[in-house]
Amino acid sequence: MSEQSEMDKADLSGLRRRSFHQVLEDRQAGFRYGELLILLFVTFLFVGSAPTGTDWVPFVTVVIESATLIVALFASGAKGWPVTIALFIVALGLASSAAAWISHDPHANKAAAIIGAVLVLVGPVVVVRGIVRRRTIDVRTVLGALCLYMMAGLFFTSTYNALQAFSHQSFFAQNSHGNAPDFLYFSFVTLTTVGYGDLTAATQVGRTVAAFEAIFGQFYLVTVVALLVANMGPSFQYRKTKSTGPADADRAEKGTDVPAEAPAGE
CB distance 180 to 117 below 8 Å = no
Q: What is the pLDDT of residues 25-75, one digit of tens each?
A: 454 444 578 888 898 999 899 988 888 777 788 788 888 888 888 888 887
Q: What is the pLDDT of residues 82-100, one digit of tens each?
A: 788 888 888 888 888 888 7
Instruction: Give the whole-angstrom CA distance, residue 121 versus residue 124.
Output: 6
Residue 227 domain flag: yes
3-state SS of 133-165 is: HHCCCCHHHHHHHHHHHHHHHHHHHHHHHHHHH
| Structural domain range at position 183 | 11-249
Instruction: Give the whole-angstrom CA distance, residue 120 versus residue 153.
Output: 9
Strand, helix or coil for residue 172: strand
The predicted pLDDT at position 11 comes to 52
CB distance 69 to 158 below 8 Å = no
The structural domain count of the chain equals: 1
How far the first Cα of the chain sits from its last, in Å, is 43
Residue 263 domain flag: no
pTM of the entire predicted model:
0.71
Residue 1 domain flag: no
State the burial class of residue 64 (Cβ atoms within 10 Å of its Cβ: 0-12, 13-18, 19+).
middle
Residue 266 domain flag: no
The predicted pLDDT at position 150 comes to 92
Residue 28 domain flag: yes
Residue 208 domain flag: yes
Instruction: Give the whole-angstrom CA distance, residue 116 versus residue 121.
Output: 9
Instruction: Give the whole-angstrom CA distance, residue 71 versus residue 16.
Output: 29
Strand, helix or coil for residue 192: coil
Instruction: Report which of 210, 117, 211 is spatially closest to residue 166, judged by C-alpha positions.
Output: 117
Give every residue of the chain whose pLDDT is below 70, as ranges: 1-31, 105-112, 232-266
Residue 168 domain flag: yes
The distance of Cα 164 from the centroid of its chain, to the nearest Å, equals 27
Residue 2 domain flag: no
